[in-house]
Chains A and B, each alone.
Chain A
Amino acid sequence: MLTYIIRRLLYSVVVLLVASFLIFTFVTVSGDPLSFLKMSPGVSQETIANITERKHLDDPIIVRYGYWLRDAVTDQFGTTIIGERKIMPDIQRVMGHTLQLIIAAELLAITLAISIGVYSALRQYSVFDYLATTFSFLGLATPVFWLALMLQVLFVNVYLWWDIRIFYTANLSGVDPGGGIDFVLDRAQHLALPVIVLSIANIATYSRYMRGAMLEVINSDYVRTARAKGLKERRVIMRHAFRNALIPLTTVVALNFGALIGGVVVTETVFALDGMGFYFINALNSGDPYPVMAWLMIVSTGVIVFNLLADITYGILDPRVRHD
């Protein structure tokens, strides 16, 4: 098991290096991060020459990649080109905010999806089951950003017409959020809509998997055995079926991390939340490759770790699967 993990991690490092070089080349060749500065009337030639010199912008790609790699490893991804702002403190701040969003959304999605999936499976082809199926088709066909905007439109108009504020529709905190319980309530009112939006698509996906897994389990031999030995139905479902049906879901949730990040980018942009996604969009707009690279590397590492976690937990939870 340990050698398996180490081998996977080493392999991931190679993949990350290759990916980082490809993206670096691609991003640096195709854009000039200083084009905006060069167009600004107040910026002297000297300043531009200075930045070019300090950031090695005139060197060949491979040399620039070397400098970038050095900064990434020894100096926490270094600084941005324009303004020479340190990248890591910013990313740490937005990561904290995004974690609040992700954890709340995933908790909501997993709890609801398990309940819906299990109930659908136990009452297969019932009205509830069909409703759940319809909902998950709809959830997968609805663009996340549109759902976000529709909720925003709804709550903005509720506020405009009746002067009722249920949830805030933008930003992370009020102007003066206060402290203690007031702060928590304020944050909850701001995060409620993004959390709902982010969890909808995941509920749709997870509940389908949960339903499928549960159906497979309750039709299996050992559940029949459990019933045959006279166990109460409740005990059969909860102790024997349900626990095993959860195994595939852990994998799905872990592998879904990449898609979740996509949702985060869109949701945070719509609701103007100061999180990872918003940061990434701003970095892209600035045309500066360094924060973009740092963000991509950190998030890709996250995706790799979750992929690995998916495989490891699967091996632990399901004794039929063993890695060597």
Chain B
Amino acid sequence: MTDVLRTQEDPKPVEPERPGGEELPDADQALAHESGIAVKPRSQWYYVRTRFLRHRLAVASLLVLVGLALVAIFAKRVAPYDFDQLDLFNIAQPPTRTDTHWFGTDLLGRDYLSRVIFGLRTSLWVALLVAGLTTAIGTTIGSIAGYYGGTVDNLLMRFTDLVLTLPTLAVLLTASVFVGNGDPFRVGVILALLFWTGLARIVRGVFLSLREKEFVEAAKAAGAGDARIIVRHLLPNAIGPIIVAMTLILAAAILVEAALSFLGFGIQPPNPALGKLIADGQTQGLDSWWLVTFPGLVIVVIALAVNFVGDGLRDALDPTQRRIRA
């Protein structure tokens, strides 16, 4: 959702650079030549990695996400039961350690830990699909609009206006009802088709600001074609904003897909999804509090972690912050 993206902007003031605290690799290398001290050449990615690793919350969040992803990938081995395995002798059990019903069971005796794990698998898969598709569409259209300008650019901006005019969730709901079919893949595609405009605008902005620069002119003079200039010279400059936007889209996709599935118009049975599990929890009686609580907690944890990782990436990928914070 574009709205979500807009609200994620953290108005943190840029930390002032301390004089003398910067490391300038070129100067370092020149110095190394003169003094004979060996200096390791450091790439941009070295700085990015180091800056990211200093961001403890982001690293912890990344670990949580990797853990959850592993659980999702190996769901069949990790989950103690199958997600639709009935056990009518153990219905509506509150969370207990016996029989590993850590998240309790529902009114049909299905183990909720297993259902949450399989739901996590679907939800993560859809979110990744949305992020991937959105990035592909948004980057392509944003690059073309930003590089060529003119009609393509105009069309893009008008379409973005159109999408911004419509209440996003309502349009998504309408689309899911009429073409979604409760299928995870279709729901993912629908989300991506409404999400890409924000990213396209970001890429367009970067391209607009760079396309008149000298290095582009130099590449042209050296005989590079449009495609080569876009892919080799301009896109690498947009990588930072694209990655950050991708993480935010990932978080938004998880939340919006959950809302759609909860309302009954997103992913539908037999496919398990976290939002749908929460809705089941509501229909199965509110005294079974664990049915609503656990799937929702998982969503909150994912969304929080993705946001923190995005925050860490934003700081790490900002090339103006060459200095590594101690």
Contact = CB atoms under 8 A, between A and B. Distances in A.
Contacts of B9: 208
A102 B54 CA distance: 42
B265 interface: yes
Interface in B105-143: none
Contact of A156 (B173, B258, B287): B287
Most buried by B among A143, A261, A299: A143
B289 A153 contact: yes
Nearest to B251: A141
A30 B165 CA distance: 23
A262 B169 contact: yes
Contacts of A31: 177-178
A140 B307 CA distance: 9
Contacts of A300: 165-167
Contacts of B164: 258, 307
B281 to A, nearest CB: 7
B245 interface: no
A296 interface: yes
Interface residues of B, number: 49
Interface string B283-302: 00011010011001001100
A296 B170 contact: yes
B174 A292 contact: yes
B303 interface: yes
Q: How large is the interface on A (under 10, 10 to 19, 20 to 34, 35 or more residues)?
A: 35 or more
A266 B259 contact: yes
Most buried by B among A212, A258, A296: A258
Contacts of B304: 137-138, 141
B258 A295 contact: no
Nearest to A281: B263
B190 to A, nearest CB: 11
B165 A12 contact: yes
A280 B173 contact: yes
A84 B248 CA distance: 44
Contact of A299 (B4, B170, B282): B170
A280 B170 contact: yes
B262 to A, nearest CB: 5
B307 A141 contact: yes
A114 interface: no
Nearest to A206: B7
Interface in B4-21: 4, 6-11, 13
Contact of B282 (A256, A270, A292): A270
Contacts of B11: 208-209, 211-213, 215-216
B134 to A, nearest CB: 18
B68 interface: no
Contacts of B300: 138, 141-143, 146
A143 B258 contact: yes
A146 B296 contact: yes
A142 B298 CA distance: 10
B321 to A, nearest CB: 19
A284 B3 contact: no
Contacts of A30: 178-179
A249 to B, nearest CB: 12
B273 interface: no
